[in-house]
Amino acid sequence: MGFLSRFFLKRSEPSLDDLDKAVSESWRALNVDLFVNLSNIYSLQMDGEVAKTLAAQVTNFLKGEDIDEIARVSDEPLRSRIMAILPQVRQRAAEYMQADRQTREIIVAAHRMTAVLNFGKYGTAWLQDPAKMRIERLLVEYGPEFPDEITPEAYIQLFAKYHAIKRTAWAAK
């Protein structure tokens, strides 16, 4: 049982609030997992600050964040570092996704859960949200590889497995 399961042990049908909490917690942990893994990869290839900045922006991109907006609203000197690596972000994200099937699967599942959750919370307004458009681009590219429907229970199991595998791999290093 993982930390997300506590939201679903009470009843067979989780409430929208339970689902929101579970997905939010999983995204926070997934952010850390992605950032640490990418930082480790990039720190072998470049300066530490540049590696961390690139890892953060690739993570943001994979989450469906507006990386151009992040660059615009960041203060100096972070804005300059982000602007310098921004041209690499999409390609680096694509390379990372191609190299790691488990990451592709959890990113697709997390975005599918987010889409369902946000439609439940915001209704048809979600259909016009720019975040939905960014998420859809990732789902169009990587989603067909994982055609099975994702349920809250399946998502929790998938996330727990992904998280455990990544943490075990770091501990081994």
DSSP 29-84: HHHHHHHHHHHHHHHTTS-HHHHHHHHHHHHHHHHT--HHHHHHHPPTTHHHHHHH
pLDDT reported for residue 6: 46
Report pLDDT digits (tens) over 109-143: 999 999 999 998 899 999 999 999 999 999 999 99
**Residue 99 CB: number of other CB atoms within 10 A?**
10
Mean pLDDT of the chain, nearest integer: 89
Report pLDDT digits (tens) over 150-162: 888 899 899 999 9
Residues of the chain with pLDDT under 50: 1, 3-10
Length of the chain as a residue count: 173
Domain coordinates of the chain in residue numbers? 3-172
Yes or no: say if 142 and 112 are a contact pair by the CB < 8 Å rule.
Answer: no
pLDDT reported for residue 172: 66
pLDDT reported for residue 170: 63
Q: What is the DSSP letter of 13?
A: S
pLDDT reported for residue 152: 87
pLDDT reported for residue 168: 76
pLDDT reported for residue 12: 61
